[in-house]
Structure 1
């Protein structure tokens, strides 16, 4: 009896092997997180950096340009992502208390966050692109956007008035190469 091998049998075997390997490597409940570093700067050319354990935006030049913080990104679902700095060891979180909503850094590993946990929603941002410009809205606090001040060396924060002249909510956001 002759066994006929169709040209796709090797491909099917390979895909089954990969599927089995993925299941074995990532047990149920644990998702594979692919983190990627991005450069971010606002439309006024201020970059993010860490000062006294606070994320600020300012003009970094010369030797100070080494202070620039890259945003570590883990996609949660189409258009939504977790944002971190310091290699994903500090995550940006939106914290609401009463009428106050603020941005804070939390010592959480970005790859340990889960899109299915309600408590991790505070780390999620909805990314909106318009040409080369990107904005980030809090998933936990709809209507609140990541922003910088018009003044240099001020903290990165959140605003619920994205059209306000005193805050910048539009950023250039590109993969770090």
Structure 2
């Protein structure tokens, strides 16, 4: 598509210049470029203001005439943290010893994967307000199970951060007006595995141990298995 060229005011006119489209409508105002001193020479125009004005004007004209820009394409490809979630993602979790999460009563325990074992279906929903939490620790998520509908929570019990499974709807947590810290975990992906760090208790991670033992919180990463494979259903 041919993009019409912007029309500038006459060159003898004073700054600022007005940028107009072919129909004479004013599109933008161009300020006088900054002058910088260069040793051994006279003043020179600074290129950055001119470049930034050109980019903004180019984007404006392309959009006005229906031309899709590269940045718009990139924006569509990137996950939108603020897009609404109507259903949680589902999947399963296993540790590095090929033990999967299963439900026993009101507790999640780990057992070796086999044809006779049915892993519990986990549910995952991102936090609606990640910008209000500490940055750089991972993606904050709510983590629960599908049937029965319950969510993992971190509570202080007798001075000890403790992992619990509570009857709670994961989408209700997601739709709260602010993050519900006890139910949130920073998911940090390390190669093909993930760690789940408590938001309420930084430095404490979900961990697994021997066969048939419940998952728990630990602050000793080197002594316990805190790396898990989280497989999300397509």
Interval containing the TM-score (normalised by the shorter chain): 0.7 to 0.9
1:27-176 equivalent positions in 2, closer than 5 A: 32-63=85-116, 65-66=117-118, 68-76=119-127, 77=130, 79-87=139-147, 89-114=149-174, 116-117=177-178, 120-149=180-209, 151-164=210-223, 167-176=224-233
Q: Taking structure 1 as reference, are residues 87 and 74 closer, same or farther at Cα in structure 2, changes over 3 Å only?
A: farther
The one-character-per-residue Cα deviations of 1:5-31 (angstroms, maximum 9, x if unpaired) are x774xx9xxxxxxxxxxxxxxxxxxx6
Query: Alignment partner of 1:113: what SS?
Result: helix
Query: Alignment partner of 2:222: what SS?
Result: coil
Alpha-carbon offset, residue 130 of structure 1: 1.1
Q: Taking structure 1 as reference, are residues 125 and 91 closer, same or farther at Cα in structure 2, changes over 3 Å only?
A: same
Moved over 3 A (4+): 31-34, 114-118
Query: Alignment partner of 2:91: what SS?
Result: strand
Q: Taking structure 1 as reference, are residues 88 and 134 closer, same or farther at Cα in structure 2, changes over 3 Å only?
A: farther
Q: 2:98–2:113: 8 Å Cα contact kept in structure 1?
A: no
The one-character-per-residue Cα deviations of 1:45-73 (angstroms, maximum 9, x if unpaired) are 1000001221101113123x22x112200
Alpha-carbon offset, residue 34 of structure 1: 3.9
The answer for unaligned runs of 5 or more in structure 2 is 1-63, 69-83, 131-137
Query: Alignment partner of 2:92: what SS?
Result: strand
Q: Taking structure 1 as reference, are residues 116 and 144 closer, same or farther at Cα in structure 2, changes over 3 Å only?
A: farther
CA distance in 1, matches of 2:173, 2:143: 11
Give the structure-2-normalised TM-score: 0.57
Normalized per residue, the structure richer in strand is 1
| RMSD of Structure 2 on Structure 1 (CA) | 2.3
The answer for unaligned runs of 5 or more in structure 1 is 1-5, 12-30
Give the structure-1-normalised TM-score: 0.74
